Structure 1
Amino acid sequence: MSPAIPRSTYRLQFSKDTTFADAVELVPYLDAMGIGALYASPLLESGAGSNHGYDVVDPTRVSAERGGEEGRRALVAALRAHGLQLLLDIVPNHVGVEVARANPWWWDVLTHGRSSQYASYFDIDWAAGPVLLPVLDANEEKALSELSLATDEAGRPELRYYEHAFPVAPGTDGGTAQEMHERQHYRLVSWKRGAAELTYRRFFDVSTLAAVRVEDPAVFEATHREVLRWVAAGEVDGIRVDHPDGLSDPGGYLRRLRAAIGPDRWLLVEKILGVGEELPASWPVDGTSGYEALREICGVFVDPDGAGLLTQFAAEHTGVKVSAHAAEHQGRREVADTILAAEVRRIGEVARTVGQVAAAVAELVVAQAAATEAAVAAGSPAGAPEAGAPDIVGDTTASAPATPADAGAEPLRAAVAELLCGFPVYRSYLPEQRAALDVAVSVARANRPELAGVVDALHAALLADPTGTLATRVQQISGMVMAKGVEDTAFYRWNRFVALNEVGGDPARFGVSPAEFHARAAAREAGRPATMTTLSTHDTKRSEDVRARLAVLAEIPGEWTGAMRRWSARHPLPDRSLELLAWQCLVGAWPISADRLRGYLGKASKEAKLVTSHVEPVAEVDEAIAAWPDQVLGDADLVAEIEAFVARIAGPGWSNSLGQKLLQLAGPGVPDVYQGTELFEYSLVDPDNRRPVDFAGRQALLARLDDGWLPEIDADGAAKLLVTASATRLRRYRPELFTGYRPVAAEGPAAGHAIAFARGSSLVAVATRLPVGLATRGGWGDTVLPLPDAATDWHDVISGEAVDGAAPRLDRLLARYPVALLVRPA
């Protein structure tokens, strides 16, 4: 592995509350823990108060809130003084535009329109008219009456809508605010119009994040100039690229970036791979940010025998029996038809300019019109379609008949939507990975056979010009549909067992077998040994320790379903699916405050879009959900029962947590430790997982460990810090041990409860899986772990104890901790 690639990383989320100066203070702790590199969230100037940095407003300078250029240099100096490297997160797809004035490029575009020097920087549909800005309240007419005039500090006129300020183009002032508004290069519209009418590409459905055209060399240079200056100065050792799937040409972008940073620096992409999916071979990257490893590592601690009862219970509780894949497709169709309708419409407009697509649409319209006339002649009322048939062309019997173009708009939109919803992965990268497109076409044809001709024409057009505008748009938007329809809709609806509802996960696959785990790990070592692995990130739905605790439920499904029946009858929620999610998250993150739980359930219910949503909130539903945490936590008898249940699963959950961590840290790839997760840390989705971390407490615990303390496994979490530091130190100071990969099979009656592997001939990691089942069967018995080469000079670096023989008994090897990291002398 290249010296530029660290042996491990530690992720820090920088903000005004976690500055460069704060990080400087943490560097000695990271060094002492054996971390190889600081993995920093985006450091460029972002929106005021941002707790993530992905809303960059000025890519030409470092964030002032985080410490400015002086603070950044001090951090780099501290890292270098301690021998640590720096991995930097960058955001090439979009910039923040929530506060227009904060982004000088966006402000200039709003001021000068197409004549702005930055007009080509943004992915704006200029042919559609003024740029639509969805910032007004739902009552647009009333909101426009509330526009006012003001001047900036230099005396220039501005339009104001409450706290929002917008520029006035030169020569357009005079008259009322409303009259001036009509002369601008933008139009302020209701926030509700953004989904269907927006004229610029966004990050997913977030209108405050506007996409930039980084495929343009001038835009690439402008957006990367500052970061590449740091690289050229030797201050950045690696780059992690956020959301490459939003780019028009991810491969071309990555090749340009690789040329700019050189062949030896670490380059990763935030790419969510489907099960079995590989990165395109032409991408010059070292790997991903690790979600595929998360699925495999967490999954091997899930008992597949729990699937039946949990599946049955979910169907009974919700009254709905639907597969995960059906729920995912439904979620994708909903977002394609609603919050991403503008993007689907834009693809349709491009497709209509392609001759073969236009011809297929015209043929369908003619066929539909003929069918309608035949139905009218046969006596069907108003030419109504047959029962259950989809209305794809609208009402052709209206007094003002639709033009051929109008009549074709809806079937084309429907065909585009079905195509986007059929991808088995986030996107294809034509001309590579055509198979994903072919699957999408097959799915679309099967779901809407009446649209097959249009879908086939789209397919042919995409293959005929795989780098053209139509193919680019389809591929960019398919990932958005997948992310919003699956991650942010179906994963909040299909709640059979939410430990599996994770970024990069597949809830339909109930866990990962040891054989699959080993096969994937061996493939990672052979194919991309420098890829990142992770268990928790700033984007995960639940922290690794929440998932580890929830994994225990698969071992005791009867106990869990019985408890949840009682609890949900006592304190119901407005939606039965939400109940499945809420009770699992409650026990998974226990103890949790009412405020934290309320914030989570408010977000989860709106993402699910079943009984309320961000776009169409239902006040009485939102109020009932907001009241639920206080009702539950105020019920003393119920709280006692919850605490007893959590006590039942806490110990096995800790075992799973330690096992996951060891397999990640000792396995192939470069492991990342998300901030705070070196102890047991029970967070839910953002912003819950971005809360302040008690680093002083962690430093004190590490000092005790260095004095020889072997902690108990308890809620303090020091045992997890022991496992983490033992592995990261070994990776940093004896990197030669972490090469190769082969499974190590236990032998004996409880062999299935051990998961173990060797790296080379001098390192073996072993962890306990399915700990409840192990205890039920009476423990390890005489199960042994035959070590490589029948060598006997091993010791466990976690417990510090020597290993007994070449095939130690697991009841002795794992007597103190449920994991062991065995090493032979150098």
Structure 2
Amino acid sequence: MSANPRTPPRASYRVQLHKDFDFAQAAALADYLQALGVSHIYTSPIMTARAGSTHGYDIIDHTRINPELGGEEGFEALHQALKARDLGLIVDIVPNHMGIGSDNAWWMDVLEWGQHSPYAGFFDIDWHSSRRNLEGKVLLPVLGDQFGAVLERGEIELRLDAEQGSFSAWYYEHRFPISPLDYPVILLRDDAPGPRAISPGLEALIRAFCLLRDDAAAARSSADELTQQFATTMRELPAIAEEVQAALGAFRGQIGMPDSWRPLGRLLDAQAYRLAYWRVSSDEINYRRFFDINTLGGLRVERIDLFNETHRRLLRLVEDGRIDGLRVDHIDGLHDPLQYSRRLQGAAGRPGEPCYIVVEKILAPHEQLPSEWPVAGTTGYDSLNLIGAALTDPEGERPLGTFYRRFSGVQESFEDILWHSKREILRNSLASEVSVLASAVYRLSSSRWRSRDFTLNAIREALENLIAAFPVYRSYVDREQPAGASDRRHIDWALGVAKRRAGPVETSVYDFIAGVLTGDLAGQGSPYPRDEVLSLAMRFQQLSGPAMAKGLEDTAFYRYLRLLSHNEVGGDPQRFSLGVQGFHHANQQRLEHFPQAMLSASTHDTKRGEDARARIACLAEIPAQWAKQVLHWARMNRRLRVRIGDADAPERNHEYCFYQSLLGCWPPDLDLDHESALADLAGRVEAAMVKAVREGKQRSSWVHQDAEYESALAQFVRAALDPQRSRMFLDDFAGFALRLAESGMRVSLSQTLLRLTMPGVPDIYRGAELWDLSMVDPDNRRPVDYVQYRKRLAEIQELVPGDSGSVEAASQLMRAWSDGGVKLHLIRTALGLRRRQPALFAQGDYLPIEAQGHFADQVLAFGRRRPDQAAITVAPRFWNRLIDANGHVDWQDTVLPLPPGRWRNLLDGASLDSADGPAPLQALTRHFPVALLVTD
């Protein structure tokens, strides 16, 4: 084991690895990242993913470093490059699921051998479905039409792989292995009428394959040798190969003659899988997926043998000191997150030196990460939304809501929209998962007199309502203990809401299911088996998370569009704003419980880049002006809408989304006479808008696309951004967008400084060290031009050569704020301080500082302190309230008391002395919108 001590990260930098940005390109960033001030590079998954994967979460082989990224040699070169620059490495890992298909050897073995495959238990498959045609089979919803139609059109072909000695069915690029137990069925058939002579060599092989059927369980171990013998025989005796090819003729039907396809149909029906039309997946699929993605199959990583197999190579890299930290993807998808996190920490950590592990966990505003998990914290969606809420003006909530309802016509509350969205997901995308769980609960209830009268339909309805009402992604009951206090609060809340929404019906079934979810049904003296009850509770938890993610993030967030900056992963549009005290309390809690949690602002999954959100949040400061502008633009663009049936397209809700989205991504240096730049912007916005409409699932969807509506929407976006057709709109919009962009710049600097200095480990998403005005994936994964980023950093290093800025430098950067240099200067300065004083931010106290004066509540200020070190963060908010009649910022009498001593603002070089009295905010922010003070 490596003797190198583990140092927790000071700050990380996230990169997305794929074939066009591999280990070599990541290694080439080492000097740049060192100069920027981060301590660790943080990558997307590095194990072998599906060929061409742009994200790496569809891993097909956990035992091999991805050759598309550079393989073992490329990874070692990355390690050496980082080591030379004293940088560490954090790696994303994917324990919940794998990419499934013909490129996954485990999955293909399961398809070939069914429950006799040694990998059958690795995947979360319900082999004993209530549907008769799925007993002992796995459903494969891959066909573009009904099975019979596809079969009779000849689109499924039985082929021989003579080199491997195997048969497979092919549907275009999809391969489905035929079980060797059924090879005799193929080899004994012929397309010629009457009896057929079989050569002695082939007859011997047929007898050998027939013997496999005598013991199917044992056959798996001997079949490989037999298929190799089969391949050798065909290679050495071409006549036998020709004989086998002739036998395949019996499985080639004729178009227009349905009966001619029976041999192939029966052969396929005999396999351990059932090929099906892709649209049946939501109702019948019987393997757990990642959300509703059919090509990502859930893993049962709670099995120790699977854990060892999927983590062996990774943990060796941790042991060797080549990986310094782990980011666990989608931990809520696991059967038992506590067990997993303990097992991972136990394998990756050392005595007295735990491994740095963060988990992708979405927390509700009122929710805390379970304290017993041995991890450093979450990946930062909670801090992202905490900062966002603290920087959103509460005075905008009522007027924005009123105008949004009037303009869009959306009258439902967000609570109702979320309820209906989750119900829709449960009845469509996740219908099969609900059916499996409902059937299991029904079997439990039917096993005892006291609950046998609950019907399957009543149980299913209750489960749907309880999941729809669940206020968090999941609870955490496990086999060691029933529900804790927080779990009970969440379950009780869901129970109350579900009963109320169920209306005047018998609700005792809800109490029964609640007893399952808490584990109380299996209490002392209970007639119900404890293991079965807790297993059902844990299965419910694995379903409530995907239902929340799909219902909230991928549906409700695209239906309720009052203020898009709130519609973010981990966000809650019902929490419009957060006060100063609430912000400080959350930070003190983090310092106490998870002081090394990651602090994010943008990720590969965020709906909008951090600076786009900051701009949009400014609308809460100017609701009346915003309403006036939207109405003006809507009138100007009325001619661009078209009539579809009895309604306009795009509808008002989507038009409202368009204006907000365009404001968020509007380049501050955009030239309206630059047609190609406008066309590029139009293409990006169009793609994001079409995605938003499909995610909302009201006028179109990914499954049922409305081409006419989508075309009308795309034409609207293109026309609105065409200077030949909409110059008046563009001129007016650009003027407003630039004014908002300057306000957004100030908010962005506040949120950046807060993230860099509050308790936790700040993370910078690739490219977000300058303005991140991106929209949702794939817009946020466009290539980063690191040549320009290096150039800009070098310019700032020359402008600010030391560890502290100057008034001249700050003023120069502010005059050119649109190029993002102000943000880069702030990041470099704050990370430089963290590098010089790591203990201050890793272990220092968090001390709220209250401003005084007229605008006291518009300052977020706190100190970080150790006995010999101190720093103060000053981050203003609600800048538009500060603008006087002449358009100037006027803090009036607002001041900030400073602890005793002399202080220096690292961002503009100004010096202050507490002996002179509280520092006026007017002076603190005169040259730069935020301040980072250190003892001079």
TM-score normalised per structure 2: 0.81
1:566 Cα offset (Å): 2.9
Q: Which segment drifts farther, 313-322 or 653-662? A: 313-322
- Counterpart for residue 101 of structure 1: 102
Contact 1:357 1:461 in 2 (8 A): no
Match of 1:157 among 167, 174, 185: 167
CA distance in 1, matches of 2:917, 2:9: 32
Deviations 1:316-369 (A, max 9, x none): 1232321111111111111011100011001011101213687677545xxxxx
- Counterpart for residue 53 of structure 1: 56
- Counterpart for residue 514 of structure 2: 459
Deviations 1:679-720 (A, max 9, x none): 011111111111111111111111111112532352210110
- Counterpart for residue 72 of structure 1: 75
- Counterpart for residue 390 of structure 1: none
Listed as ranges, the matches of 1:515-664 within 5 Å are 515-569=581-635, 570=637, 571-572=640-641, 573-591=649-667, 593-634=681-722, 635-664=726-755
- Please state if 1:289 is matched with 2:379: yes
Match of 1:811 among 916, 919, 922: 922
CA distance in 2, matches of 1:341, 1:607: 18
Contact 2:18 2:68 in 1 (8 A): yes
1:151–1:575 distance in 2 versus 1, CA, 3 Å: farther
Contact 2:391 2:617 in 1 (8 A): yes
Contact 1:313 1:561 in 2 (8 A): yes
- Counterpart for residue 116 of structure 1: 117
Match of 2:357 among 256, 263, 267: 267
Contact 1:13 1:41 in 2 (8 A): yes
CA distance in 2, matches of 1:454, 1:361: 8
Deviations 1:585-633 (A, max 9, x none): 1111114622211211121111101111112222211222232221111
CA distance in 2, matches of 1:225, 1:162: 35
Contact 2:26 2:78 in 1 (8 A): yes
- Please state if 1:692 is matched with 2:783: yes
Match of 1:344 among 434, 439, 443: 434
1:242 Cα offset (Å): 0.7
Q: Which segment drifts farther, 621-630 or 57-66? A: 621-630
CA distance in 1, matches of 2:835, 2:698: 48
Listed as ranges, the matches of 1:442-481 within 5 Å are 442-449=496-503, 450-462=505-517, 463=519, 464-465=521-522, 468-481=534-547
1:269 Cα offset (Å): 0.8
Give 2:475's aligned amino acid.
S
- Counterpart for residue 909 of structure 2: 800
Contact 1:746 1:783 in 2 (8 A): no
1:771 Cα offset (Å): 1.2
Deviations 1:129-171 (A, max 9, x none): 2211111114443223311233446353221111222212114
CA distance in 2, matches of 1:748, 1:438: 44
- Please state if 1:414 is matched with 2:501: no
* SS at 2:687 equivalent: helix
- Counterpart for residue 426 of structure 1: 473
* SS at 1:803 equivalent: strand
- Please state if 1:668 is matched with 2:779: no
CA distance in 2, matches of 1:495, 1:507: 9
- Counterpart for residue 746 of structure 1: 851
Q: Which segment drifts farther, 287-296 or 803-812? A: 803-812
- Please state if 1:489 is matched with 2:496: no
1:78 Cα offset (Å): 1.3
* SS at 1:762 equivalent: strand
1:751 Cα offset (Å): 2.5
- Counterpart for residue 706 of structure 1: 797
Contact 1:4 1:265 in 2 (8 A): no
1:412 Cα offset (Å): 1.7
* SS at 1:260 equivalent: helix
Listed as ranges, the matches of 1:182-201 within 5 Å are 182-201=269-288
Contact 1:331 1:485 in 2 (8 A): yes
Contact 1:356 1:461 in 2 (8 A): no
Contact 1:43 1:63 in 2 (8 A): yes
- Counterpart for residue 148 of structure 1: 157
1:665 Cα offset (Å): 0.3
1:451 Cα offset (Å): 4.5
Match of 1:716 among 819, 830, 852: 819
Give 1:555's aligned amino acid.
E
Listed as ranges, the matches of 1:711-790 within 5 Å are 711-712=813-814, 713-738=816-841, 739-760=844-865, 762-776=870-884, 779-783=889-893, 785-790=895-900
CA distance in 1, matches of 2:890, 2:626: 25
1:567 Cα offset (Å): 2.5
- Counterpart for residue 385 of structure 1: none
- Counterpart for residue 441 of structure 1: 495
Percent of aligned positions that are identical: 40
Query: How many residues in Structure 1 have an aligned counterpart in Structure 2?
Result: 778
CA distance in 2, matches of 1:601, 1:789: 50
Deviations 1:542-581 (A, max 9, x none): 1110110001111111121222223234244433322222
CA distance in 1, matches of 2:633, 2:448: 57
Contact 1:415 1:451 in 2 (8 A): no
Q: Which segment drifts farther, 18-27 or 414-423? A: 414-423
Contact 1:333 1:421 in 2 (8 A): yes
CA distance in 1, matches of 2:126, 2:356: 36
* SS at 1:160 equivalent: strand
Give 2:166's aligned amino acid.
R
* SS at 1:165 equivalent: strand
1:217 Cα offset (Å): 0.3
CA distance in 2, matches of 1:806, 1:48: 64
* SS at 2:550 equivalent: helix
Match of 1:131 among 134, 138, 161: 138
CA distance in 1, matches of 2:884, 2:397: 19
- Counterpart for residue 182 of structure 2: 172
1:360–1:41 distance in 2 versus 1, CA, 3 Å: farther
1:311–1:126 distance in 2 versus 1, CA, 3 Å: same
Give 1:615's aligned amino acid.
V
For structure 2, the residue ranges without an aligned partner over 5 or more in a row are: 130-134, 187-249, 252-263, 523-529, 642-648, 668-679, 801-808
Alpha-carbon RMSD: 1.8
Listed as ranges, the matches of 1:298-377 within 5 Å are 298-355=388-445, 363=453
* SS at 1:316 equivalent: helix
1:476–1:790 distance in 2 versus 1, CA, 3 Å: same
Contact 1:525 1:668 in 2 (8 A): yes
1:9 Cα offset (Å): 0.6
1:512 Cα offset (Å): 1.5
- Counterpart for residue 404 of structure 1: none
Contact 2:42 2:89 in 1 (8 A): yes
CA distance in 2, matches of 1:690, 1:356: 51
* SS at 2:302 equivalent: coil
CA distance in 2, matches of 1:167, 1:639: 57
CA distance in 2, matches of 1:279, 1:21: 36
1:811–1:151 distance in 2 versus 1, CA, 3 Å: farther
TM-score normalised per structure 1: 0.91
For structure 1, the residue ranges without an aligned partner over 5 or more in a row are: 365-407
CA distance in 2, matches of 1:715, 1:708: 17
* SS at 1:659 equivalent: helix
